[in-house]
């Protein structure tokens, strides 16, 4: 991690959001002090969209593409905020006969997507 990002302030659209917790965990794992005065990492919003990829013969959606988007900023004193976007995509097969299992599978997939977005944010910071 570059020296100027060893200590940051992490702010978010929702301090209790799952993505906020994931980003904090990823930053801390890389040795970043997130409670310090320093450049501000601001999580602007996160969003999950899904698009139909294929249909069953009945017309029901058989497969979706899930798209998780994280919009964030680096705010440094004396500089304009840098807007950044991270997009994570996954295919998800639906089965209406296994509704509860598929709901749980989708939840786990979205958690994995959030973790990947948080890890990508930290990698982007590390690259300067």
> Is-above-0.85 flag for pTM?
yes
CATH superfamily of the 3-126 domain: Lipoprotein like domain (3.30.160.150)
Domain map (residue ranges) of the chain: 3-126
Q: What is the pLDDT of residues 34-54, one digit of tens each?
A: 988 899 999 999 999 999 888
Rounded distance, CA 56 to CA 58, Å? 5
- Which residues have CB under 8 Å from 11's CB, separation 6+? 40, 41, 42, 43
Is pLDDT larger for residue 87 or for residue 58? Answer: 87
pLDDT-derived band of residue 99, with 50, 70 and 90 as boundaries?
Answer: low
């Amino acid at each position: 991690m570059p020296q100027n990002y060893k200590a940051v302030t992490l702010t978010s659209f929702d301090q209790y959001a799952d993505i906020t917790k994931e980003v904090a965990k990823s930053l801390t794992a890389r040795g970043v002090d997130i409670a310090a005065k320093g450049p501000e990492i601001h999580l602007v919003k996160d969003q999950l969209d899904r698009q139909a990829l294929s249909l069953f013969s009945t017309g029901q959606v058989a497969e979706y593409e899930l798209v998780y988007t994280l919009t964030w900023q680096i705010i440094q004193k004396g500089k304009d905020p840098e807007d950044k976007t991270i997009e994570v995509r996954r295919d998800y097969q639906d089965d209406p006969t296994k509704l509860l299992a598929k709901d749980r599978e989708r939840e786990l997939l979205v958690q994995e997507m959030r973790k990947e977005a948080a890890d990508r944010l930290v990698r982007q910071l590390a690259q300067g």
